[in-house]
Chains A and B, each alone.
Chain A
Amino acid sequence: MVLQAIAFWLLAATTVVAALSVISARNPVHSVLFLITAFFSAAGLFVLLGAEFLAMILVVVYVGAVAVLFLFVVMMLDVDFVALRQGFARYLPIGAVIAGVLTVEMVIVAASVATGGAAAKSTGPVLHVSTAGTVTNAEAIGRVLYTDYVYFFQAAGMVLLVAMIGAIVLTLKHREGVKRQDVGAQVARTPKKGMRLVTIKSGEGIEL
């Protein structure tokens, strides 16, 4: 229990400090690196809660893929932070409203979980108590996700597919006059097709 407590405070402190640094760091690349730190320590908190599957998915998807692309873009862009800061006062009211709404939501959720527990308040199907202790985390999520929530799961997949196709269609450009590699043609090439033996008579030259 002592170790858990130490781990919790360490991870929680890291998460909060890193999250604050994301918005206060002057260098955008540092911001993204702090964001990664925050994701990573949040994954650690998930492990402490016993949700190891969620923790691993968080690391694989957000840290391993999304944040890499984030870093990729931020490094390539030359972001001028002085120019960005000029609009700060103008956007402050909208930002404050969104922050306020989020805070209220989180307080409501936290309060209801603290009084009744997440499972007791949930109206959706939850895993049966008798099997909850014996199956692993990943199996438990799979059982609920692919049975009770299968339509939502499929719908989420469709949304992602549409988004993916949309991104491809928006960026796909067919430029004329670009030489492209045709691997099939290269592999199928034989000496017969690739070269021609010509006997040149002296003083005449050849026509290609």
Chain B
Amino acid sequence: MGEIDWGSTIGWTVMTVLQILAVVIWILLSLAFLLLADRKIWAGVMMRKGPNVVGPFGLLQSFADFLKFVLKEIVIPAGADKVVFMLAPLVMFTLAFAAWAVIPLAPGWVVANINVGVLYLFAISSLGVYGIIMGGWASNSKYPFLGGLRSAAQMVSYEVSIGFVIITVILLTGSLNLQTIVERQAGGFWNWNVLGGGGLKNLPAALVMIPMSVIFFISALAETNRPPFDLPEAESELVAGYQVEYSSTPYLLFMIGEYANIVMMCAMISILFFGGWQAPFPTPFTAHWPSTAASFFGFMWLFLKILFFFFIFAMVKAIVPRYRYDQLMRLGWKVFLPTSLVAVALIAGWREFGPGA
């Protein structure tokens, strides 16, 4: 067997499939432990112990849950639209993982380094609503339907403010390519977009960008249906919303998709505002390292940032009480939308007339 030609059609296909597999397996394994971490953090805030029986410190809890889900019977309600009913969790799961294709994990580590990476992410995350609304409708039941409708309105509303926040970042960096956005934030935390994205002379832009990162974080909570915005599955009024009729593997797919989306949003905040795989200090020493070592070094930083934001997601879930639906809509349309719209104008003006112009 000689040298493999990775440039040929078959070589490229095999290579891409292997890369996709690597990313998916990494996410699934991380999710198993992040799910446990979520429950542990939640339990910690409530002064409970959380899962602690399966394996040391309950580390194998997620795998036990996985087996339990997979081995149970799939129940399809009698009046359900069978095809759409089964399609909904698949859509949710597939889209949640499709988004990871453009996330730059480390220098040179990205499955598809496309020029419109930010738009791709935005497009995929706006599609996420279909899994929920299809599941809610196809269940042919009151509570899932109400949950699905709530989620459709909620996600469409918060996408608008997420879009405007992303535009401020694009204006600062001048690129739609995620790898480029990360590379522009090199050289220390003072170059991160959250602090204006260009050292001291761009620091005044931080006055706009810090609130923008907060708005992005809160909108991300709403977009992933996390508490305090988990109205589509509000258990006190809708039992579990769109998930009521789901059991076994379809339910598992919904849950994994939801958590993959949450981790994706954490990665997005890290990349857009907090430098992605860039270390928070200048790293001239990595230039002499082999490229694989430098990549692992960068990957470590991105992973740490994702873990940090996931921790905050979990803390919010534990601490903040659920919003009422009209308050949620008010926050999205009357507070976030005008604020982020003004921010877009301010950042555009800053880029045109500021010292960085």
| Residues of the A chain whose Cβ atoms lie less than 8 Å from the Cβ of B210 | none
**A56 to B125 CA separation, bound complex (whole angstroms):** 12
Smallest CB gap from B126: residue in A: A64
Chain A residues positioned under 8 Å from B149 (CB to CB): 72, 75-76
| A68 contacts B152, C-beta separation under 8 Å | yes
CB–CB B176/A75 < 8 A: no
Q: Are B130 and A36 closer than 8 Å at their CB atoms?
A: yes
Q: How far is the CB of A64 from chain B (nearest CB, A)?
A: 3
User: 8 closest pairs, A vs B, by CB?
Assistant: A64-B126, A56-B119, A59-B123, A136-B115, A60-B123, A52-B116, A56-B116, A56-B123
Q: Does A29 contact B (CB under 8 A)?
A: yes
Contact (Cβ within 8 A) B119 A181 = no
| CB nearest to A69 among chain B residues | B156
**A138–B115 alpha-carbon span in the complex (Å):** 8
Interface size of A by Cβ–Cβ distance < 8 Å?
A: 28
Contact with A along B313-332 (1 / 0, CB 8 A): 00000000000001100100
23 A-B residue pairs with Cβ-Cβ distance under 8 Å, sorted by A, are A1-B9, A3-B13, A27-B81, A29-B81, A29-B84, A36-B130, A60-B119, A60-B122, A60-B123, A64-B126, A64-B127, A64-B129, A64-B159, A65-B156, A68-B130, A68-B133, A68-B152, A71-B130, A71-B152, A75-B149, A136-B115, A181-B326, A181-B330
Tell yes or no: B153 within 8 A of A by CB: yes
Main secondary structure, interface of A, reads helix
Type the 1/0 row for A135-169, where 1 means its CB is closer than 8 Å to any CB of B: 01110000000000000000000000000000000
Which residue on A lies nearest to B136, using beta carbons? A75
Given A68-B133, A72-B153, do A138 and B9 touch, yes or no (CB 8 Å)?
A: no
Q: State in angstroms the CA–CA spacing of A139 and B108 once bound together.
A: 23
Separation of A69 and B149 alpha carbons in the complex (Å) = 10
A72 touches which of B116, B152, B159, B176 (Cβ 8 Å): B152
Check A63 against B126 for contact (C-beta < 8 Å). yes
Which residue in chain B gives the minimum CB-CB distance to A47?
B114
In the complex with contacts A136-B115, A137-B116, A33-B327 CB distance below 8 A: no
Question: A57 at the A/B interface (Cβ < 8 Å)?
Answer: yes
CB within 8 Å of A: which B176-202 residues: 176
Binding site for B on A (CB under 8 A): 1-3, 27, 29-30, 33, 36, 52-53, 56-57, 59-60, 63-65, 68-69, 71-72, 75-76, 136-138, 181, 183
Decide yes or no: A56 and B126 within 8 Å by CB, A2-B9, A29-B137 being known contacts: no
Q: Which residues of B contact A (CB under 8 A)?
A: 9, 12-13, 81, 84, 114-116, 119-120, 122-123, 126-127, 129-130, 133-134, 137, 145, 148-149, 152-153, 155-156, 159, 163, 176, 326-327, 330
Asked whether B120 lies within 8 Å of A56 as measured between CB atoms, the reply is yes
Q: Contact: A136 with B84, CB < 8 Å? A: no
CB <8 Å contact, A68 and B115: no
Contacts of A68 in B (CB 8 A): 129-130, 133, 152, 155-156
User: Distance (Å) between the CB of B225 and the closest chain A CB?
Assistant: 15
In the complex, which residues of chain A have a beta carbon less than 8 angstroms from the beta carbon of B153?
72
Question: Would you give the shortest CB distance from A116 to chain B, in whole angstroms?
Answer: 28
Chain B residues near A65 (CB, 8 Å)? 126, 156, 159
Tell me, in angstroms, the Cα distance from A117 to B265 when the chains sit together. Answer: 42
Indicate if the CB atoms of B126 and A53 lie closer than 8 Å. Answer: no
Q: How far is the CB of B143 from chain A (nearest CB, A)?
A: 15
